[in-house]
Amino acid sequence: MVHVYRAQGDLSELLNALAKRFTPLRVRGSLGTAWDVRTAWQHMEPGSNRAPIPARLLRAMAAVAFAWGWDDFGVVLLVAFDGALRPGDFLGLERHDLRFPQEHGGDDSALYIILRHSKTAKLRGARWQHVRVSCGRLIKVLQTVFGSRPAASYLYHAAGTMSQRAAAFLRQFRAVLAFLRIPYGEQHGFVPSSLRAGGITALYQRTFNIEQVRWQGRWDGQKSMEHYVQELPYNSAFASLDPAARDRCYRLARLLPLFLPQ
């Protein structure tokens, strides 16, 4: 007999999928017992958060992407980090999800990104969520790369189904890390979901404003958000790198302004 071992997150995704597919299950609370099992499993086998990508590693990765001509990939890296986006968020973004200052009609100069495929929006909270981008340089880059594209075109331009596009993004992600001599992986390296973890960590370290972090991360529950934020800054994935690899990242990060699309 072959035993297949699964993570607790797989059970959560299954229950969420059932609740989405069969809406009455949520209304009647028919999944309550199953969620109790998931909670007990979580207590016996605590989960772990993805290693956060530090800001300087993020800038180094973006610099390499732009130098290689991967403009879509490079901009999506920056947006995912700044907006604390999950892979499912940024892979589903289309041009009409970007609301530039001249398009949203408000008095501020920020860019608003509409998240129509947000994981949490599908299960609870607002039907559509958004993030606010206030960095003028990033807004200018987004305008340069995506401003004139058709409304329904994806920001990350790759052909195929969503899973095929995700695989294409992962190949580029791993290629950039390999060039930087940075490990890939959930145990001792970085993965695409590390972009969200890194963005949240950077925002917390910059502001120490837990409510701003909660809003940007789009958490409903204060407790789960606090646990997430408390753990992230102390992850050792970047600190344990070879000093030469870290120095390489620092040098490339400083070069990012030279490679940004004009």
Cα–Cα distances in Å, from 254 out to 76, 139, 162, 249? 19, 19, 33, 9
Q: Is residue 1 part of a domain?
A: no
Tell me the C-alpha distance between 232 and 198, whole Å.
8
pTM (whole model) above 0.75: yes
Q: How deeply is 100 buried, as exposed, middle or buried, from its count of CB atoms within 10 A (0-12, 13-18, 19+)? A: middle
> pLDDT tens digits, residue range 5-51?
455 556 666 666 676 666 665 544 677 777 667 666 554 444 456 78
- The domain of 30 spans 8-44
Query: Does residue 135 sit in the same domain as residue 233?
Result: yes
Query: Does residue 18 sit in the same domain as residue 61?
Result: no
> pLDDT tens digits, residue range 76-132?
999 999 999 999 999 999 999 999 999 888 888 999 999 987 655 444 455 578 899
For tokens 């590693």, what's the residue?
57
Tell me the C-alpha distance between 31 and 19, whole Å.
8
Q: Cβ–Cβ contacts within 10 Å for residue 7, how many?
A: 11
Looking at the chain, the whole-number percentage of residues with pLDDT higher than 70 is 76
- CATH code: domain of residue 177: 1.10.443.10
Query: Does residue 113 sit in the same domain as residue 34?
Result: no
Query: Does residue 75 sit in the same domain as residue 191?
Result: yes
Query: Does residue 225 sit in the same domain as residue 124?
Result: yes
Give counts: helices (H), strands (E), the chain: 14, 3
Q: Which two tokens stand for residue 259?
A: 């490679």
